[in-house]
Structure formats: C-alpha cells, structure tokens
Structure 1
C-alpha cells in the first residue's frame, strides 16, 4: 500500500438550503433513507470513521451552533470533529475553513458538501489512491441527458455532451496549493476544482458514484424516503449474416471485429437491446418494440445507444436511480473477452454508472442450439433501480 500523507476533511455546511423548502437547513434534517441521524451527521461519519483522516472540520452558519452540536453528538468519533464559521457563500466558507486548518500542517484536504450524505468509503479511498500524481482529484459522472440551450422558452441549440461530466464531492487536494488558489481566486467559483483550474493546478478525474446524490430540493428528500428496489430482465437474439458480410459488429456500443454481420432493423446491438429491455422492465414500461417499433422507418439502422438513452430518460422522469447492470453475451463467435473492458466502459459512459456497478460476461452453449451452431448471438441482462414508492 502506498504511504499516505496526513489528510484532513472540510465539510461545507453553512448554506441555508432554501430550495429544500421550509424548516431546518437541509443539512440538519433527518436522513431521508430512514437510517437515522441528520444529513450532516451521516456526512461527518463517512470521514470521521476513516482512519486515514486525522480531523474533520465543519464550516457552519453562525446561527447553527446548537444544531451542529446535536448532529456531532451522534457521531462515534466526535473527538476528531471541529467547526469554523462559514462565509457569505460556499467559496468564502471553504476559504474560512482552509485558513482555520492551516495550523494542522495537513498535506491533503478533502472538501465535501454536507448535502451529499451517501458518500461511500470506497469513493474516499479511491480519491486517496489517486492524489499522488496530481494536485487534486475529483469524482464525476458522464452527462447522459441531451443538453439544450434556450432563450425565452425556445430551444436555440443542442449542446454536444461528449466530454461533459457532472462533478461531485468529495474533492481531494494538496492542502497548501488549494489554500493559495482560494486566496487568489475571483468570486463566483462553483466548486473547488474550478478554483484549482483557475490557479493552473492539475486536477484528475475518477469515476463518481450514482448513489452519491446531492440533496437539494423538497423532492429529493421526499423521493429518497421510500425508495423501492426494482429489478428488470431483458433478452435479445439476432442471427448472423453470411461469412464476409461484415468487418465488425456492434456489441455494447463497441465495434468488435467479426466477418458476419448481425442482422436487425437497427444496428442490432444485442447487448444494448437486452440492457434497454431490462431497464424498461424495471420501470414497467414495456419493451423496445413499444417505444421504437420496427415498422417505423426512422429506426432503420438506428444506433442502439439511442434506445438506452430513451429508457434512462424515462427513469429520470420517474425519479428512479439506476444502480447496477449485469449483462451476459451468449455466442461462439466473436470472442468477447478481449473487448469486455471496453464494453464496460461504454456502458458506464452511457448510463453514468461507475465501472464497479457494470458487469459484462460471456458464455457459450457448449455447441448446443442456434448459438452453438454459430447461427446467431443472444444476450440477457438484469438492471436494478431504486424507484420512489409513488412512481
């Protein structure tokens, strides 16, 4: 294991959380998953319980000392926890916190939003593992929704989502470099990575976690209070064309070398078809044929990624969270093993899931049936979601 330098954590909890509706600031409300304690207490525990983190500081509003103390008293490692008053906005609160931490002589500092209480130990550890060769590390998820610009309610432009990511916290930085960057940063920076970028620091990105959501609105608190797990299954089969009919075939959005085309109305990607049907099944929204009928010429040779994107949009409309995909490809040829990594990465990119939540496997039928005779290829998939009880 790599030697880890001293690390502290700063949790930003000075906001008023007005978008979360009336009542206490959201960081002091009860956990919406029914797990007990406040949102802030859950966030504190994630860092205070980690042995690599020597102390945890909370930037709080000056009016919230009693609420803060009540939250800290529920944490088993409360002796590691201190507080500092925040500023007028998030950026000012972080700067106040960093200045208070200067005497700790820490080499690294985590910055975390209190409103992300679902942060996992695995994510914290992956940040620590990746800080060695960079000035900062942030988790992020690829943007999967179609992005639009609009003026006065009218769409003016569709924004390409290639290369766009949704930043999360915790974000880990070299302490001295981040403090200097904050001391010299202009106002209006929305996260600490932006401050670091402005200072010319090198910030690397790792896979975020879908579960690491930020509680922002009333709906966030309501929808996570009664989340029900749902699992859907999908199955798809396509036959092969003649030998020499292709140079490659699409499987899970990846071009795989093969000399026989996969015959279908769209691009015949059995991996994405099975995955899409699994997600639609979990949502009780029918199957691909209901949404993209083969009788519609618009779907001829269509990229199967469009089908999965559509299913993800339906999930988003129901406030459902996709948490896991397990896909098995069934064929004699082409060989899947050399391409499994690329397939997992593509599914991760399309869905926003971390690689750790995407499984791609392959098997044969030992020479039995149509697949065993090399006549075609099949895929079966399961998708797991968390769905609000009222959806």
Structure 2
C-alpha cells in the first residue's frame, strides 16, 4: 500500500509572536496545512493521507479538514515531541490501522511546504517503489562552507552539494528496522529523516525538487509565499 504522511507537528518558534503553530497560519485565505493536504489529495494512488499534529491541536486540525477537505483518506492524529518521534507515530498508526505488508511505502512531507508539485509527489512514489529511501533535493546554488563559530573548517565542492527538501519517502519495513537499530546517541543526532536509513547502511535515492518548494519557517518566508500565491492568481 502507498501512504502519505504530512508532518505538522512543529510549533513554529522561528515564526515569532504568532497565536498558533505556523502550519495553521493563513496563506491566501486558508491555512497553510490545507494548501499542502490538497496537493496530496490529487494523487489517486495514496491509500491514506495521515496528518500528524501537535496533540493540543488535533481537534483544531480535524475541524479544518472536515470543513475544507472532502476526501475520506485524510486522517488526523497526534504526533510526538520531536520530528522523528512524529514520523514514527505516523508509521505506528499506519501499522495498527491498516496492518503491515512487505511492500508498504510512505511519502512524508513538511506541512509548511505548500508549493510541492504533483510531479515531485509522482517522482517520489515511482522512486520509493524501487529503492528503500528517497530524498527530494535541489542543487546548491551558493558555495557551502562548513565550520563552527567564526572559523571555516572546510569548503566542499559545490557541484556535489544539494539542499534537502521534502517529500522524503521510505519503504516502511526498512524505515522501522533502521530506526529500531539506532542507539540513543544516534537518534539524538538525527537532523533529517533520511539519515535514519543512511546510518543503517541503506542507499538513499535522490529526486529533483524545485526552488519554489520551500519551507515556510519565518515571517519573511510567509511574505514570499503570499507574494507567490498572488502572482500565480
């Protein structure tokens, strides 16, 4: 079976003094979360679309979905304390609700990337049906420097550098086994879900993203997103 999981568990601390998590803020007249869910409902191959929210906001999210999304595949559940806790909460829900099958895959996506395209979602599905893990990336435009504080330690070759986006997609059986094999220190080091599979020795396939598939994290990002929606309209 093919699942989508929309990760809406963040609190949005970098958005500043706002009354709610950033995924519920309004973009062009409706919540960012709803924009994102709508993109996934366009893909008929998803058996279920799981939206994972902060526990205190599950009721609010369910109300929004009931009012705006006419698709019985969409389910809203509570997430965990951190991103990968939230990811695994969604996986656990899938396994408990639909059972476990060797060929199950999941396409995971940030709730605050509302400009994901049908092509990106399609490419993730096609890739994850053949590979254990998939990451959506765009080539790095600027030179990347690595270092700490004010000192540069290394300048990698830009041609081999990419910026990670989402969706990130996984064969569920591989993801669950890889996460279970990590020790506490490895779990604490995770800054990206694909690293779960990398640490377990599994290859991660890359698919092409788009520069406009950006994450709305700060007030500036929200202004850019609003301008982009207005221009498209």
Comparing 76-85 and 44-53, the one that deviates more: 76-85
Deviation string for 1:68-127 (max 9, x for gaps)?
123312443342111222111101111111111113246111111111111111111111
Match of 1:83 in 2: 76
Alpha-carbon distance in structure 2 between the residues aligned to 1:226 and 1:168: 21
Determine the structure 2 residue equivalent to 1:109.
106
1:63 aligns with 2:56: yes
2:91 equivalent to 1:94: no
Correspondence for 1:11 among 6, 19, 22: 6
Q: Residues 140-289 of structure 1: matches in 2 within 5 Å? A: 140-149=137-146, 151-153=148-150, 155=152, 157-185=154-182, 186-187=186-187, 188-227=189-228
Q: How does 1:349-364 map to 2 (within 5 A)?
A: none
Partner of 1:267: none
Which residue does the alignment assign to 1:336? none
Check whether the contact 1:28–1:71 (CA below 8 A) recurs between aligned residues: no
Give the Cα separation in 2 of the matches to 1:111 and 1:149.
28
1:50 deviates by 1.4
When residues 155 and 129 of structure 1 are mapped into structure 2, their CA distance, relative to the original with a 3 A threshold, is closer
Q: Distance in 2 between matches of 1:38 and 1:69?
A: 13
Q: Structure 1 unaligned segments of length 5 or more: list them.
A: 1-5, 230-385, 387-391
Cα deviation for residue 155 of structure 1 reads: 4.8
Query: Can you give the 5+ residue segments of structure 2 that lack an aligned partner in the other structure?
Result: none
- Separation (CA, whole Å) in 2 of partners of 1:204 and 1:153: 34
Q: CA deviation at 1:136?
A: 1.7
SS in 2 for 1:63: helix
Inter-partner Cα distance in structure 2 for 1:212 and 1:147: 20
Residues 209, 62 of structure 1: alpha-carbon distance in 2 compared, 3 angstrom cutoff: same
SS of aligned partner of 1:83: strand
How far residue 162 of structure 1 moved from its aligned partner, in angstroms, is 2.8
> CA-to-partner distance for each residue in 1:206-229, whole Å, 9 max, x for gaps?
111111111111110123222476
Q: Aligned equivalents of 1:193 and 1:154: distance in 2?
A: 28
CA distance in 2, matches of 1:141, 1:42: 22
CA contact (8 A) 1:12 1:112 kept: yes
CA contact (8 A) 2:53 2:76 kept: yes
Deviation at 1:131, TM superposition (A): 2.5
SS in 2 for 1:112: strand
In the TM superposition, residue 59 of structure 1 has moved relative to its aligned partner by 1.4
Q: So what's the TM-score if we normalise by structure 1?
A: 0.53
Q: Report what 1:123 is aligned to.
A: 120
Structure 2 residue aligned with 1:48 = 41
1:3-55 per-residue CA deviation (whole Å, 9 max, x = no partner) reads xxx20111111110110112111000112xx2x32111111112223110011
The normalised TM-score by structure 2 is 0.86
Q: Please, what is the CA RMSD of the aligned residues?
A: 2.1
**8 Å CA contact retained: 1:44, 1:75:** no
Question: Among 124, 134, 137, which residue is 2:134 paired with?
Answer: 137
| SS state at 1:118 partner | coil
Secondary structure at the aligned position of 1:79 is classed as coil
